[in-house]
Every structure is written in structure tokens, then in C-alpha cells.
């Protein structure tokens, strides 16, 4: 596919180099057209090296090829990122002051803008009017992500992650003209990995969780346009790029981090394997094994029920205005026994905890933990039919995040 990648003059231009790499590694032929201001952030040499094509922003270069006409006519897809307030305004009013705006006027294929600017600029009436004008003409304009902006400010206006723009662009090229990032503008907190409860300075009580499912969920939420906070207990895999990471070890540390992060989160997904119990006492020195002493006795105490606390905090009268629409998703790693099967125990847990969705999997020594595949059933407090999702943990995560988007937007899930 022949893609024109327009680059606006914003600090987020550096992230577009990763987007370009995604396009080229997928086999697409990309011509980069940076604005003059964009070259102040990322130089022409970088765009040429990554694209393998010459780069210009002037209508007077290679005049014999009539680039200001040819590029727009030949492009199967045009992507503009970051789309600054200035670029949106020039595109909406049909200006043709450089090669990029000329190319946009000549476009015959789909066009996608990925905005990035300060919050006040994005929310300004002029920018909103320009966005609506472009959308009314059939141009796709993504919602920016929320998060840290230039300096200490935070809010909507952050460039979506390159992977999210890549997915949106390919969906648009495949004819999904109404494609939107389902979690754009949302803040999602996800816990991942397994907690470790210390016995002494060298030993701990832990579990088999690798963190793979939680990391896959963070990637899926990021690619859906969300600002993602990952609360990471022990994990065998690295945290993904483009998410904020808070590192914890114990259940009590995870509880503190989750309650703090939930205060301004639209979605909380508790995918971590949190220890139900911890030692009542932690030895300050290594517990020694001696022939003349009895076997040690370790007394365990219950850890807090973090999921239930999150639900109670959301439902508290003082939080109903700010968190009334917050979606809380729990994970249940269950085994059946003579008293009931996995879904029976999970259904009782959903009712007891009060979360909105419960993602249930049947665990064992060779199931789920540490594996690359998973099979889950998504139960809903609303009483909707259970939803099965199976495959790689990436595929399962995509199904869970799709369901989260449907719940937030009050869309009935497909059976």
C-alpha cells in the first residue's frame, strides 16, 4: 500500500518515527511529508533513513514530477500525525501553503488525522469546529489520548500511541470508515503479575503468575486509545512501551497503588494474582534450619480484598459524582472441586465482590500461569449471557478490552 505520512510541527513528532517503522515493517511504501516546523523536531535525514524514500516539504522540489498533484492522487492512504491545531485549521479551510496541505487537497483515498496539542487548544471552539468540518467531509479524526503533555500539564491532547494510530489507519484503509479508538480519552488502570509476601529477607510466599495476561491487557487498552497505568507486581515479561508503570511487590503495596490510581480512572482491571494470605510476622534475619530446633510454624493472616474495596470506594456516596460510571473488572483464577465447578464458584465471587465484569479462567499447574494461551469466560453483573474468549493472551485481551468498550458505551456484546 502507498502511504503518505504527514508530520506536523509538534513535540510528539518524535513518536511518529515509531509509526513510520510500523508501516514499513508491514511492507508498505511510505512517503513522509513533514511541515517545515516538523523538521525543527525531527530532521529530514531521519525520515529518509526510516522510509527509504526522499523527503521534501516544498512544492518546488522535483517540479517535473508535479509532486503536489501526484502524491495525493497516488496515495492509498494519508495519515497526518501529529495533527496540530494549525494543521487541522489549514486542512479544514482548504489552504495549500506547503506540500502537505497541497497533497491533502489532492487526496482521493482515505485520510486520517491523529491530533496532538495542549488541552486548551484541543478544547477551543475553533479547533472543535475545524474537526467537525473535516469529519463532515468524510475525513477520519481520532480523539487524542489523555495523559502527560509538554511540561507538568496533563489532560486530553496527547498523541495516541503509534500502535493505536497504526491499527486505526489500517482499519480505515480496509473500509472501516467509522473506525474509532473505543477507549480514546479514557484512563485505564490495570494490575498485573503476582504478589510476593516476604517470610524473611530471602524467602517469600508467591504464585505462578507471569504477568503475561496483564501486560497483554495493557497493550490492548493502549492500542484502543486509553491512557494506561500498569501496576506491576512480579512479572516474567517486561512492561510495554507507552504505559505508566507503578512497581509493587506485596498485596498491601498493590492495594495502596490501586486505590490511589482508581481515584481518577474510568476503568480498573484487576488482573494481578494477589496473595490471599501473608505471614503474620516477617523475620528480620534468615530463618535458619538447625538440627536441634523444631520445624518452623508460619502463621498466615488474610490480605485485604482489594477488588471489593475498589467497588466499595466507587459506590461510596461522596464518590458517586466523580466515579459513578467507573467500570471495575475482576479476574478469577478458579479450580473446581466436589462442591462445585469453576463457573459456580466464579458466579458466587461476582455476586460477593460486586464488580461489573469478572474474567474467569480455570487454572492448574499446566494451565494459564506462564502460558502464552488462555481460555476465559466473561461474566457480567448485569446478568448478560457469559462470553467465551479463547486463543493467545493477546487475542483474549483484545476480547476483554472490546467488551470493556462496549460496557462503557452501552453497546450490547455479541454472543
**Look-up of cell digits 493502549:** 222
Residue 371 half-sphere exposure, CB side, CA atoms within 13 Å?
17
State how far the Cα of 379 lies from the Cα of 37, in Å rounded to an integer. 50
Does the active-site annotation cover 207? yes
State how far the Cα of 282 lies from the Cα of 280, in Å rounded to an integer. 7
Asked if 35 contacts 8 with a C-beta cutoff of 8 angstroms, the reply is: yes
State how far the Cα of 159 lies from the Cα of 161, in Å rounded to an integer. 6
Can the peptide bond before residue 82 be classed as cis, meaning omega within 30 degrees of 0? yes
Asked if 117 contacts 84 with a C-beta cutoff of 8 angstroms, the reply is: yes
State how far the Cα of 395 lies from the Cα of 347, in Å rounded to an integer. 24
Query: How far from each other are the two terminal CA atoms of the chain, in whole angstroms?
Result: 34
- Containing 23, the helix (H) or strand (E) segment is helix 13-25
Sign, CA torsion 58/11/43/70: negative
Residues 6+ apart with CB under 8 A from 144: 114, 115, 116, 117, 122, 156, 157, 158, 159, 160, 184, 185
Q: Which of 67, 207, 303, 361 is catalytic?
A: 207
Alpha helices in 203-315 (DSSP H): 212-223, 251-262, 306-315
Positions marked catalytic:
207
Amino acid at each position: 500500500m502507498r502511504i503518505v505520512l504527514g508530520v506536523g510541527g509538534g513535540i510528539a513528532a518524535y513518536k511518529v518515527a515509531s509509526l513510520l517503522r510500523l508501516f514499513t515493517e508491514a511492507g508498505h511504501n511510505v512517503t513522509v511529508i513533514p511541515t517545515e516546523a516538523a523538521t525543527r523536531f525531527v530532521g529530514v535525514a531521519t525520515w529518509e533513513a526510516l522510509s527509504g524514500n526522499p523527503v521534501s516539504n516544498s512544492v518546488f522540489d522535483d517540479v517535473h514530477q508535479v509532486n503536489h498533484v501526484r502524491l495525493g492522487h497516488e496515495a492509498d492512504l494519508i495519515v497526518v500525525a501529529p495533527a496540530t491545531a494549525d494543521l487541522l485549521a489549514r486542512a479544514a479551510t482548504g489552504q495549500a501553503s506547503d506540500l502537505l496541505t497541497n497533497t491533502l487537497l489532492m487526496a482521493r483515498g482515505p485520510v486520517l488525522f491523529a491530533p496532538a496539542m495542549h488541552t486548551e487548544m484541543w478544547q477551543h471552539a475553533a479547533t472543535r469546529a475545524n474537526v467537525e468540518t473535516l469529519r463532515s467531509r468524510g475525513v477520519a479524526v481520532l480523539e487524542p489520548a489523555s495523559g502527560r503533555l509538554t511540561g507538568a500539564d496533563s489532560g486530553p491532547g496527547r498523541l495516541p500511541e503509534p500502535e493505536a494510530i497504526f491499527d486505526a489507519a489500517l482499519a480505515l484503509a480496509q473500509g472501516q470508515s467509522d473506525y474509532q479508538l473505543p477507549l480514546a480519552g479514557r484512563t485505564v488502570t490495570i494490575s498485573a503479575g503476582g504478589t510476593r509476601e516476604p517470610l524473611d529477607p530471602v524467602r517469600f510466599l508467591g504464585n505462578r503468575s507471569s504477568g503475561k495476561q496483564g501486560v497483554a491487557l495493557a497493550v490492548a487498552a493502549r492500542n484502543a486509545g486509553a491512557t494506561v497505568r500498569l501496576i506491576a507486581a512480579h512479572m516474567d515479561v517486561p512492561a510495554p512501551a507507552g504505559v505508566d508503570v507503578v512497581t509493587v511487590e506485596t498485596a498491601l503495596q498493590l492495594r495502596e497503588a490501586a486505590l490511589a490510581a482508581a481515584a481518577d480512572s474510568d476503568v480498573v482491571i484487576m488482573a494481578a494474582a494477589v496473595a490471599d494470605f501473608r505471614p503474620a510476622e516477617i523475620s528480620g534475619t534468615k530463618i535458619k534450619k538447625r538440627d536441634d530446633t523444631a520445624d518452623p510454624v508460619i502463621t498466615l493472616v488474610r490480605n485485604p480484598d482489594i477488588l471489593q474495596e475498589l467497588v466499595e470506594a466507587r459506590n461510596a456516596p461522596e464518590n458517586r459524582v466523580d466515579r459513578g460510571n467507573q467500570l471495575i473488572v475482576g479476574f478469577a483464577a478458579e479450580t473446581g472441586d466436589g462442591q462445585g465447578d469453576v463457573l459456580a464458584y466464579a458466579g458466587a465471587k461476582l455476586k460477593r465482590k460486586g464488580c461489573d465484569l469478572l474474567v474467569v479462567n480455570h487454572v492448574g499447574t499446566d494451565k494459564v500461569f506462564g502460558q502464552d494461551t488462555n481460555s476465559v469466560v466473561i461474566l457480567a453483573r448485569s446478568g448478560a449471557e457469559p462470553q467465551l474468549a479463547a486463543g493467545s493472551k493477546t487475542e483474549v485481551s483484545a476480547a476483554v478490552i472490546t467488551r470493556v468498550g462496549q460496557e462503557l458505551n452501552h453497546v450490547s456484546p455479541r454472543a
